[in-house]
Amino acid sequence: GQQLNQSPQSMFIQEGEDVSMNCTSSSIFNTWLWYKQDPGEGPVLLIALYKAGELTSNGRLTAQFGITRKDSFLNISASIPSDVGIYFCAGHGGKNYGGSQGNLIFGKGTKLSVKP
Amino acid sequence: EAQVTQNPRYLITVTGKKLTVTCSQNMNHEYMSWYRQDPGLGLRQIYYSMNVEVTDKGDVPEGYKVSRKEKRNFPLILESPSPNQTSLYFCASSFLFRGQSPLHFGNGTRLTVT
């Protein structure tokens, strides 16, 4: 099936640093979603993006829907220890996407850890 | 509280012994889906359902069955589990997926098949 390329795979950060991760696709999407997964739990939605060019913030998190509709990025400013976890991007092509209508495609995740 | 509930949270079984993982949501969502999560592979969709009695294969459906007899429940059935189905499984739901209703996930079921 279709895949999203999410990078980086993992990163170590110092508390207080800004963090950036992104997802790219060879196909266009109508929706981009960013989820965070804490250990032992299911993914939780952070930000949803519905229009090309849209820039949305949620506290220290900011995400953008790329103009080409083939990419999205997530920034975390002034990271804190509770930011550690796995971040997933997900994309949906909409009703006429060349796949099934119900198929939301996930990136492989970016694992965020804090440097000791 | 609005939630997606999976049971059990942990399950250890042996090859070939049929098992069912239950999933229930209390948000009146039409859309429900099952994913498996494996290291380095992210979340891969197994099956999904757009509404009662409507199910469809995702990316990795082999070895799994689902049913959607009621709107709130979407059990995942492994008729003859094998070790390669050892994984972390997530159920998720949303309003009918038009790209504007993000998925809500359960807390996962960790399955080990020996």
With contact defined as beta carbons under 8 Å apart, do B31 and B48 qualify? yes
- Nearest CA distance, B60 vs chain A (angstrom): 9
Residue A50 has a pLDDT of: 87
Binary contact (A103, B50; C-beta < 8 A): no
Whole-angstrom CA distances from A60 to A17, A91, B105 are 12, 22, 23
- Structure confidence by residue, pLDDT tens digits, B18-35: 999 999 999 999 989 999
> What mean pLDDT is predicted for residues A52-73?
95
pLDDT at A93: 67
Residue A60 has pLDDT above 70, yes or no: yes
The model's pLDDT over B43-79, given as tens digits with 9 standing for 90+, comes to 999 999 988 999 999 889 999 999 999 999 999 999 9
- Hey, is the C-beta of A85 within 8 angstroms of any chain B C-beta? no
Phi-psi region of B98 (alpha: psi -120 to 50; beta: other; left: phi over 0): alpha
Residue of A30, A41, A108 lying closest to B41 (CB–CB): A108
Tokens, residue B6 = 């999976």
Judge: B108–A42 Cβ closer than 8 Å, yes or no: yes
pLDDT at A110: 95
Cα separation, A93 vs B89, whole angstroms: 24
What is the C-alpha separation between A64 and B14, in angstroms, rounded? 46
Above 80 in pLDDT, residue B101? Answer: no
Written as six digits, the tokens of B25 are: 């949501």
A103·B45 Cβ contact <8 A: yes
Q: What counts of helices (H) and strands (E) characterise chain B?
A: 0, 11
Q: What is the mean pLDDT of residues A5-15?
A: 93
Q: Does A40 touch chain B (CB under 8 A)?
A: yes
pLDDT at B80 over 70: yes
pLDDT category, A1, cuts 50, 70, 90?
Answer: low
Which one has a higher pLDDT value, B94 or B14?
B14
- The more confidently predicted of residues B51 and B80 is B80
pLDDT at B92 over 70: yes
